[in-house]
Amino acid sequence: MQDKEITIRYPRFLRKLYKQFLVYFNRLKLTEHSFVLIVAVIIGLLGGYGAVLIQLTIRWFQHIFWGGTFNLENIHAIAWYWKILVPAFGGLVVGLIIQFYSREAKGHGVPEVMEAIALKNGVIRPRVVIAKLFASALYIASGGSVGREGPVIQIGSAVGSSVGQFFRVNPKRMRVFVACGAASGIAAAFNAPVAGALFAVEIILGDFAVPQFSPIVISSVSATIVSRHYLGDYPAFLVPKYELVSPLEVINYVVLGVLAGITALLFIRSLYFSEDFFDRFKVPEYVKGVIGGLLIGVIGLAFPYIYGVGYDSMDQALYGHMFWQLAGLLVLMKILATSISLGSGGSGGIFAPSLFMGAMLGVFFGHAVNLFFPSWTSGPGAYALVAMGGVVGAATHGPITAILIIFEMTNDYKIILPLMITTIISTIIALRWEKESIYTLKLARRGINIFGGREINVLRSLKVSSIVNKTIDLVSAYAPFDQILPTIVNSNHTQIYVVDENNKIVGYISMQEIRQTMMDFDALKHLLIASDIANPDIPVVNEDDSLDKVMKLFGRTGLEELPVVSKNGKEVIIGTVTQRAVIDAYNHQIFLRDMAGESGRSIREMTKQKRVHVVDNYYFDEVEAPISIIDKTLREAAIRNRFNLEVLMIRRREYRDGKQRTFYIQPNAQTKIKTNDVLLVFGTQDAIQRFERT
């Protein structure tokens, strides 16, 4: 059952509260910046409470399922069949939630947050908060091999989106509020406010712009205060002090970086292989959940360390209390268990499993180097700590966040040098073999490239079909020479094209080919046919090709015109594209981009002004389409009548072939506003502000 897009209808008392807030807001004359910072505090507090609540809920479910805390000390006393049945029950319940209540609760949740920011203006259904909290807490408590960090990120993001929807903010603010929620979740989960803020801007938004960084930091700090108040000011892991024993030890950390990158790649490939494997079975989600839970239970009988988040096992690894042979095996077992858990539809994150894999990899590698180089090598625990950052950085493609999380967990500057070396190298290794992170790969497989809109070459966003010239001169491959000459002389093109009986292009004829036979025209006019003199070496372009590709083809061939074939793959010629037409399209797009505010943005960056002043009280401004007018035509939105504004241009982003394309529209009354549209409007400052608050 697919989730339906819904329009949120808040209860009457909330609507009254909102109106009362607007009264006080206007009475206090708060600036836009002050409003954003106040809301950031609210989101941070709510996100912090969400992180606290999921931890308490996990403990509550663990007490129900296992009669107490489910840790390595107590697990051996539990009956073997119970360790299989409980994960299966957890998979069943979570599958029912996903099947009948909220599909967003499935998986680790961060890709869904990134997709909401990129494609839905940050709109996330409020029900995700309840669904994700309950599903993830139950699944982790029942033994699912996942982490709680992904759920708190999604819960915090849903809180931020719900707050933004309540205050009816514009799409730009909505995306910032969603990022505030994500930052609050990760900060509260790890007691790491700086890492939480960096996670939101590095991974969720992918943009370090200062105006949106301030509210994210405030939310992150607010959530950390809540977490520390209820859970105590303790680091996520109890980590002993480590240091770099010898400069030669840097070599070990370089090798560890390579191994961490390979481990992260293996995890990514295994996770998506598992998802594909379970997706082949056309059975309800709760059936897949039961199968996955049974498999986790069986693996846990032999390797109980893989149950749940695994913090107990990581603590043992950091203190060097783990056999190196077992640690090496647990890297593979955790990859397998987490892949099955998430692939079968479980609810939970990949952050903690990545830390677990790194810790076990570090113990295994640390024992190996200590065996060969005991005089200048730290203990295995140091390598476990550094490898944790390496695997997380490589899997998420967020090395800055990974470094800061480990640093904030230790508060020890001495570990920062090996941590940076290992994490950066592991990330480079991962990027070399997989350009998508464990988060964005899920979106890329759906044909979504969330960063594809950052395109400098405007020709990449234009298709051949937009400028193809459908007038074309064709001759049959069997046409006699005396019929070809009049055709090419009277043609408006530089060349004519030769086609076979199926209208498939077989070559072209230009004046160059005609000139070679003119001296013997009388002797050859009844002997030669078109296929004899046609040049078969002709490149063709598809109507779906980008103009960037076409321009490069012009440069390689030296031709001024290329034939265009249909996209059905049969190379049936439908028209031509000329070099002049490509240049004209380029110039037109540059003009439209200038009109739409590219130059205006440069002016704003230099002058620090929000709008471009034209005359008197009139301004040009770029405004993201408010949520209230999405899917309405300009006539239905009545922007001119309601706000006394003129919409001059629309900048639109669409996904094609897995890439985000940007193009510009000169609107009319029937033009429909879509999600992520940016409108270039002209009007008074008051009118623009009223429109933004719609």
CA distances for 639 relative to 222, 631, 636, 667, 685, angstroms: 38, 14, 8, 12, 15
Instruction: Give the tokens for residue 281.
Output: 């079975």
Q: Would you state the pLDDT for residue 5? A: 38
Mean pLDDT (whole number) for 58-63: 88
pLDDT tier, 260 (very low <50, low <70, confident <90, very high otherwise): very high
Report d(CA 111, CA 96) in Å as an integer: 21
> Which architecture characterizes domain 12-231 according to CATH?
Orthogonal Bundle (1.10)
Instruction: Give the tokens for residue 27.
Output: 């009475």
Report d(CA 361, CA 343) in Å as an integer: 23
Q: Would you state the pLDDT for residue 517? A: 62
Q: Would you state the pLDDT for residue 82? A: 86
Maximum C-alpha span of the chain:
103
Q: Would you state the pLDDT for residue 390? A: 94
pLDDT tier, 316 (very low <50, low <70, confident <90, very high otherwise): confident
Backbone conformation region of residue 201, classed left if phi is above 0, alpha if psi is from -120 to 50, else beta: alpha
For residues 406 and 33, which has the higher predicted lDDT (pLDDT)? Answer: 406
Report d(CA 175, CA 94) in Å as an integer: 28
pLDDT above 50 for 2: no
For residues 653 and 396, which has the higher predicted lDDT (pLDDT)? Answer: 396
Q: Angle of helix 399-410 relative to helix 171-190, nearest 10 degrees?
A: 40
CATH 3.10.580.10 segments of the chain: 460-585
CATH superfamily of 249-444: Clc chloride channel (1.10.3080.10)
CATH 1.10.3080.10 segments of the chain: 12-231, 249-444
User: What are the tens digits of pLDDT across the range 585-640?
Assistant: 777 766 655 554 444 444 344 344 456 766 667 778 888 888 778 888 888 888 88
Q: Would you state the pLDDT for residue 6? A: 38
By three-state DSSP, how is residue 641 classified?
Answer: helix
User: What are the tens digits of pLDDT across the range 454-512?
Assistant: 444 556 667 888 888 887 777 777 777 667 767 766 777 777 778 877 777 777 777 66
Mean pLDDT (whole number) for 649-660: 70
670-684: b (≥16 Cβ within 10 Å) or e: ebbbebbbbbbbbbe
93: which DSSP letter? H
User: What are the tens digits of pLDDT across the range 128-142?
Assistant: 888 888 888 898 888
By three-state DSSP, how is residue 237 classified?
Answer: coil
Q: Would you state the pLDDT for residue 270? A: 94
Contact status, residue 195 vs residue 204, Cβ threshold 8 Å: no
56-79: b (≥16 Cβ within 10 Å) or e: ebbeebbeebbeeebeeeebeeee
pTM: 0.67
Residue 329 burial (CB < 10 Å; 0-12/13-18/19+)? middle
Contact status, residue 175 vs residue 122, Cβ threshold 8 Å: yes
pLDDT above 80 for 667: yes
CATH 3.30.70.1450 segments of the chain: 598-692
Report d(CA 476, CA 466) in Å as an integer: 28
CATH code of domain 598-692: 3.30.70.1450
Instruction: Give the tokens for residue 33.
Output: 């910046």
Q: Would you state the pLDDT for residue 605? A: 42
User: What are the tens digits of pLDDT across the range 229-259?
Assistant: 888 777 666 676 777 777 888 889 999 999 9
Instruction: Give the tokens for residue 406.
Output: 């480990």
Question: Hey, which residues does 542 pair with through a beta bridge?
Answer: 565
User: What are the tens digits of pLDDT across the range 140-175?
Assistant: 888 888 888 888 888 888 888 888 888 777 777 888
Q: Does domain 460-585 have CATH number 3.40.30.10?
A: no
Q: Would you state the pLDDT for residue 335? A: 94
Q: Would you state the pLDDT for residue 606? A: 38
User: What are the tens digits of pLDDT across the range 265-309?
Assistant: 999 999 999 988 998 888 888 899 899 999 999 998 888 888 888
pLDDT above 90 for 26: no
Closest CA to 262 of 453, 413, 430: 430
Mean pLDDT (whole number) for 3-30: 55
For the beta carbon of residue 557, count every other beta carbon within 10 angstroms.
12
Mean pLDDT (whole number) for 427-432: 92
pLDDT tier, 413 (very low <50, low <70, confident <90, very high otherwise): confident
Single-letter amino acid code for the residue at 100 = F
Q: Would you state the pLDDT for residue 456? A: 43
DSSP string, 147-212: BSHHHHHHHHHHHHHHHHHHTT--HHHHHHHHHHHHHHHHHHHHT-HHHHHHHIIIIII----HHH
Contact status, residue 264 vs residue 256, Cβ threshold 8 Å: no
Q: Would you state the pLDDT for residue 430? A: 92
pLDDT tier, 15 (very low <50, low <70, confident <90, very high otherwise): low
Q: Would you state the pLDDT for residue 333? A: 94
